[in-house]
Amino acid sequence: MAWGVGANDVANAMGTSVGAKAITIKQAIIIAMVFEFAGAYLAGGEVTSTIRKGIVDPELLSQDPELLVYGMMSALLAAGLWLLIATTFGWPVSTTHSIVGAIVGFASVG
């Protein structure tokens, strides 16, 4: 999933700067690495909490915690695979919509 986020979203942020020759590709990669890490480190906890508890109530699956683990892992795998496919073909796709859709799909089946 992390690779898909970087491969898909970094081009949106850096494409115009590299295209205008304001920065080189190497500089864009370094800037992206720094800010992707900083964003995950500084804001990742809140995002993870929302994804973990804000979409599906974990209490609904408290009798079967393995189902919750398998469902969340399946959602992560499905969203990551979708990002990989979309990035390979150059399709614009939202990483947020991908993971939220995968979790909603799991919740509706589970």
pLDDT in tens, 33-92: 898 888 888 888 887 777 777 787 778 878 888 988 898 899 999 999 999 999 889 888
Structure tokens at 53: 């508890």
Contact predicate 14/31, CB 8 Å = yes
pLDDT at 3 over 90: no
Residues in contact with 72: Cβ distance below 8 Å, sequence separation at least 6, in sequence order: 52, 103, 106
Average pLDDT over residues 98-110: 86
pLDDT of residue 24: 96
pTM confidence score = 0.71
CA distance 97 to 51: 11
Average pLDDT over residues 103-107: 88
